[in-house]
Structures are given as C-alpha cells and as structure tokens.
Amino acid sequence: MRNTVLAAAFGVLSLIAGGPRPALAQVLINGAGATFPYPLYSKWFDVYTKVAPSVRFNYQSIGSGGGIKQLLNRTVDFGASDAPMTDAQLAQTSDPILHFPTVLGAVVVTYNLPALSAPLKLSGPLVADIYLGKVSKWNDPAIAALNPGAALPDQSIVVCHRSDGSGTSFIFTDYLSKVSADWNKQPGKGTSVKWPTGLGGKGNEGVTALVQQTPGAIGYVELIYAINNKLPFATLRNHDGAWVTGSLAGVTAAAAADAAQMPADFRVSITDAPGRDSYPLSSFTYLLVYERQADATKGKALAAFLHWMLTEGQKYAPDLQYAPLPSALVSREQRQIEKITLPGG
C-alpha cells in the first residue's frame, strides 16, 4: 500500500510538469489548527485546486491547540500546529502521528505607540517583565535605557495575548522561558498558559485587532499579520546580543543554527537560536498526519499534496513573509511520506 500512496503522490508531480491528468473522484480533505501559517495555507489550497482539480481543502483556522484536539478526536484529516505535539499528547492515541514542517516563520512583538518615529528596541527579559506585569508604563527606565531619545509616553502598557490554544503563544512563551527565569517558573511555556495580566484575543487576527484598537497596547503576532495591518514591531536583542528585526533572513539564520540538531521526528524549538543574524522568535510550523490513514482516497491525496507542498509549494512562501524549508530537510520529509500507509497496508 505504501507504493500505492507514493504512486499517487508522484502522479500529482507529473501533473505539475504537464503530464496527463488522471480521472479522480472528488475528494474533500478537512484540516484545522494554526492561524500562524493561515495566509500561506490559504494560498496553497487555492493554487492546488489547479494542480489537482479533484481535491479540495476545508481548513479551519482555530489555533494550534484546537487543531491538535480535533486531530486526536479524528474529526479532521490533518492538524496544523506551530508547537510540536508533546509526548503526553502523542500518548493519547495508539496510532503514530507524523510531524511535517511546512515553512518557517517569525513572531513579532507589535505595539500601538504612534509617537515613536523609530522601531522600539526590546530585550527578551524585558518583554517577559512586561508580560509578567513588572513593567507597566511605557516610560519605565528599563524601556528608556534601551531606547534613548525615544518619545516614550507616560502611559500604561496594555498587554495583549491569545485567548485560545495557540502555537504562536507556544513560540512566544517558549522563548520567554529560555530568557527569563521568572517566566520559566510561572507561567512557563505552552499553547495555553495562565497569563498574569492583559487582554485576550482569538487568533492572530484577534490580537492584531486588539493592538490596532488599543492605545498603548503591546502584542505578539505572526509577521505577515503585522505587515498586512501596517503595525510596527520591535527590534529584539538576540542570543548573541545583536539587534535584529523579524525577517526571512533572520528566520533562515535561526533554522540554520539548529539544523544539525534536528531530531528524526522533526519536533524541535529554534527560539533564541545562537548566531549574530538569528531572529529569536523563529519557528517551524507543522502539518500533523496519522501514519496509518483510515481512508485510502484521502490518504493518497494527502500524500500527493505533501509532496507538492515540499517542492513547488515552497516558492509561494517568501511573498507572504515565510521562509522556505532548507533543501536537506525537504529530502528528509519526502522520505517520511513513505511511512504513510493505507487501509490494509
């Protein structure tokens, strides 16, 4: 059956190259999860209808926590998460789940301070103190010390965070746990944590809207949400002490720094990566797929899509501010697709 899955996948690749189009029954693949990669996934699913006209995707952008829950409940064909599943989550099912990194992205710290003419500079420990409620005014000496001459207002900081289970929150809190001992003790890292202070918004969209509408707000969102909504975002001091902004180059540098340590199951964190050019709030985002597929037709179609995503699909990433996967990782993931089995396989 594995050979059948691979044959279907390579059949789609032949379509891209202009080969004959096989007659396939209409198939709907349901997925749910991360809002972090949603702009790119929407593009992929739209383009893919031209590659494989018989395949349609229904994707619910509900947050990584919701995507993992629905996958475990088997109400979707794939989940999507910016946070790798934990050992405890994987133990909730006897069926192996495969992690497929799709692209790399950046989380940025955005804010609503119209009087500032230059990007705000923040360190990781300072961001942690703001989210812990220890630094509550924009003209606090700790912020002023990093931003000499900036027009910092005597204004309360309104902390904004996710209200739903979120891979973006995992990336953010994973980073804070690495750079702040106080944060690591409590609240720690996770797709959902007990926030010490602030307002909650659902999805990257919700946090973006909160920051836009709230004077003095600070929040964390995926890079494309800040760019599309013309929100400023902070320059961060990275692991090596260099000041870097969220960018494709910074994300790529962070991935390269940790590429040698990439485990066989691809579950990895690249926040606070070493390297002068590494952006500290960088992450892979994942599609989560059962190794043993319950539906043969959907399994074949999903394997074919994964092959396309890892090859042709990568070229759509940069325009939406995501970094394509390193070629060595793509090769490893293509080999992992061979693990997907169909009923009876």
Same domain assignment for residues 128 and 248:
yes
80 and 119 share one domain = no
Q: Give the range of the structural domain holding residue 97, as residue numbers without chain letter.
A: 2-105+283-337
Helix H, strand E, coil C: the string for the chain is CHHHHHHHHHHHHHHHCCCCCCCCCCEEEEEEECCCCHHHHHHHHHHHHHHCCCEEEEEEECCHHHHHHHHHCCCCCEEEECCCCCHHHHCCCCCCEEEEEEEEEEEEEEECCCCCCCCCEEEHHHHHHHHHCCCCECCCHHHHHHCCCCCCCCCECEEEEECCCCHHHHHHHHHHHHHCHHHHHCCCCCCCCCCCCCEEECHHHHHHHHHHHCCCEEEEEEHHHHHHCCCCECEEECCCCCEECCCHHHHHHHHHHHHHHCCCCCCCCCCCCCCCCCCCCEEEEEEEEECECCCHHHHHHHHHHHHHHHCHHHHHCHHHCCECCCHHHHHHHHHHHCCCECCCC
| Domain end call among 209, 231, 261 | 261
Quote the percentage of the chain above a pLDDT of 70.
Answer: 92
Query: Do 83 and 222 sit in the same domain of this protein?
Result: no
Mean pLDDT of the chain: 92
Q: What is the CATH number of the domain that holds 181?
A: 3.40.190.10
Q: What is the pLDDT of residue 257?
A: 74
Q: Which of 261, 293, 314 is the last residue of a domain?
A: 261
Give the model confidence (pLDDT) of 74-109 as tens digits: 999 999 999 999 999 999 999 999 999 999 999 999
* 253, 298: one domain: no
In a domain, 296, yes or no: yes
Q: What is the mean pLDDT of residues 23-52?
A: 92
Query: Does the pTM exceed 0.85?
Result: yes
Verify that 89 and 14 share a domain, yes or no.
Answer: yes
| 126 and 68 in a common domain | no
Same structural domain, 85 and 123: no
Interval 303-344: pLDDT, tens:
999 999 999 999 999 999 999 999 889 999 999 999 999 987
Query: Number of structural domains, the chain?
Result: 2
**111 and 257 share a domain?**
yes
Residues 80 and 136 reside in one and the same domain: no
